[in-house]
Amino acid sequence: MITTTLASRLSRWIFRPVAVTAMCLSLSATALAQQPATGGGQTQTTAKTSGGENDSKYETLKVRKEGAVLFAEIAAPPMNLLGPELVRDLVSLIQRAEADDAIQVLVFKSADPAYFISHVDVTKIKEYREEAAKLAGQPSIALLFRRLSTSRLVTIAQIEGRVRGAGSEFVLACDMRFAARESAIFGQPELAFGTIPGGGAVQHLTRLMGRARALEVLLSADDYDAELAERYGWINRALPAKTLDGFVKSLAHRIAGFPGAGHVAAKERVNAIALAPTEDFRRDSDLFGEEVRNPEGQKRIQSAINRGFQTREGEMNLGRLLGDLNDR
């Protein structure tokens, strides 16, 4: 059960005016966290740059370089919440990778087989927004994600475990998504609380799936396995877990072997057709900020907390938990 003090703090963060809440990306930015991600107990990993610079230490990423491919493994216990430490590391990683002409492809995966990125850490909204501004230019995770889409780097998400809310919006911002057939679970649960996703899901899913399937995903607020996600266009392919790593590694190195100028040109032309304008991302964030303060939504959030929402165990089957809210 969440403490009264924490509930009071989070109420001020979550239901503040639109100028603050509009930039919170997902349903997770409307929920109350019982177990926020912290950097204290996390493994620091060193990644060397090719230019002979000092080593860069990451609290929430394990980074290794193989030729022109950089692999970043997300390790932010207890459930890979997107908090300020992870945002800070992502900003640093992207900046350093873009500055290194030898790096062409960036691959993201998770050290936690049950969670890729669960959603944002709502106990640290101000802090992670400030970290996002260092790359996006504005305190917005939505614009940070869009910045990833427009990067010269080719980005690939290798997904195992649950990826919902802002986590889903993060992988949607990547250029390609490949998932483990046995374990990957996708979801945009925001509508269970009466609000829309604020970090790009509406824009990406509608373009990828078409109108009807995007509405199914958004309005149902349910979990979708990897096979259905593949069929709907949420991901490129669902692959057996035992072959996923080898497939992604092979593809990443193949792409990295081609001229980088071609990557940039291809992304620019595809983005001109398929990537929503910045204003549309801002509009979704504004709508989220307006809707999240609805009293009915607040009641449903508290009801979800009482049932285990934002705990590692409770979110193992989040779709069922949110469906049970209708029985309260």
pLDDT of 11 reads 42
List alpha helices for the chain, DSSP H: 4-14, 18-21, 84-99, 125-136, 141-150, 166-173, 201-209, 211-220, 226-232, 241-256, 260-274, 278-291, 295-306, 318-324
What is the pLDDT, as a whole number, of residue 2?
Answer: 41
* pTM summary value: 0.82
Structure tokens at 282: 């801002």
- Positive or negative, the CA dihedral 196, 116, 41, 138 is negative
Q: Please list the residues that pair with 237 across neighbouring strands.
A: 178
pLDDT of 122? 63
Which 8-state DSSP code applies to residue 196? -
- pLDDT attached to residue 212: 98
Asked if residue 23 lies in contact with residue 139, where contact means CB atoms within 8 angstroms, the answer is: yes
Question: pLDDT tens digits for the chain (328 residues)?
Answer: 444 333 444 444 343 433 333 333 343 333 333 333 333 333 333 444 443 333 458 999 999 999 999 999 999 999 998 889 999 999 999 999 999 999 999 999 999 999 999 987 766 777 887 898 888 888 788 889 999 999 999 999 999 999 999 999 999 999 999 999 999 999 998 899 888 998 899 999 999 999 999 999 999 999 999 999 999 999 999 999 999 999 999 999 999 999 999 999 999 999 999 999 999 998 887 787 677 678 887 788 788 888 888 889 989 998 999 998 887 5
Q: Using CA atoms, how far apart are residues 28 and 50, in angstroms rounded to an integer?
A: 37
How many whole angstroms separate alpha carbon 301 and alpha carbon 30?
Answer: 7
Give the angle 129-156-52 at the CA atoms, nearest 5°. Answer: 75
Place of tokens 């980088």: 260
pLDDT tens profile 238-255: 999 999 999 999 999 999
pLDDT at 124: 73
Distance separating alpha carbons of residues 315 and 300, to the nearest angstrom: 16
- Domains, the chain, ranges and CATH? 4-327 (3.90.226.10)
Residue among 150, 149, 209 at smallest CA distance from 173: 149
